[in-house]
Amino acid sequence: MANTHDTTDAHVGTSTSLYKGALHMSGEVLKCVMCPFLVVGGGPIATINQGNVGVMTRFGVYDRTLGPGLYSYNLMTQNIVRVCMKMQTMEVPRQAAMTRDNLSVMVDAVTFVTVVDPSKALFKVDDYTHAVKTLASSTLLRVIAEHDLSQIFGDRARINDSLTQIMKEKTSGWGLELSGVEMCDITIPGTMQRAMAQIAEANREATAKVIVAQGQRNAAAILAEAAEIMDAQPSSMQLQWFETLRQIAAEKNSTVIVPDSIIVPISEMSRASRAR
């Protein structure tokens, strides 16, 4: 029985080798026939532009990585897939997330990714662009759920660093280098915006009242000190009256009638000073 299996495997291996050899020879002949058309850009040729590389497979198996340039390949046995090696900006779709304090927010983000190993980017993950976006979406939702709304607005830089570190650990095996993840916009519902505006306005009003009360307290202390001084020097009260009357007359451009109760003490003080 074992001999039968070995014989069958040998026949299959021989048939596969013959088939591969036939395909290879057919492709080489086709490439030679198409040589005159290579001058005008026809035939089995591939152009790899600067900033890209070509991953060549032979019979579906990784063969080698091609740098920028012009290449002729066997159409029957080889295939070339172009991979961009430049930094790519991938926008994460807008996500509805829930914060730790049970508030709903809408968040969108962007990731900056560079392919460093093209063979891993093609063979370790199916469509690395979609994989990065999906990973960024799920990671963003998880990180938002670990923070309060005030932390999300106040510590955005720290949250971005946390997102970047988490994604770096998971994309390192995909042949990718993650430069960063940035939250672009954070939107809260309209009802919550109005509530927050009311809270902010109430806080501003409370602060204004505190400032006014502090000013009144300071003014009362100064007036009390001035009253003590005027009580010790009655003439200073009269002089203050005249200063007040002068200001009223200057502002209103009117005539002010002063009672004798104010004029007489001033006159007596004046005569007393002259007698000295």
Q: How many CB atoms lie within 10 A of CB 94?
A: 13
Domain ranges of the chain: 2-83, 88-188, 189-231, 233-276
Question: What residues pair up with 90 in beta bridges, in sequence order?
Answer: 111
Burial of 27 (0-12, 13-18, 19+ CB in 10 A): middle
Closest CA to 163 of 184, 180, 145, 148: 180
Amino acid of residue 34 = M
**pTM of the predicted structure, to 2 decimals:** 0.57
Domain 88-188 carries which CATH code?
A: 3.30.479.30
Q: Are 135 and 169 in contact (CB under 8 A)?
A: no
Per-residue pLDDT of the chain (276 residues; tens, 9 = 90+): 445 445 555 555 566 666 566 665 665 665 565 555 555 444 577 888 898 999 998 888 888 888 888 887 877 778 888 999 999 998 888 888 888 888 888 888 899 999 999 988 888 888 899 999 999 988 888 888 888 888 888 888 888 888 898 888 888 888 899 888 888 888 876 666 666 667 777 777 888 888 888 888 888 888 777 777 766 766 666 666 666 766 666 666 666 666 656 555 555 555 554 555
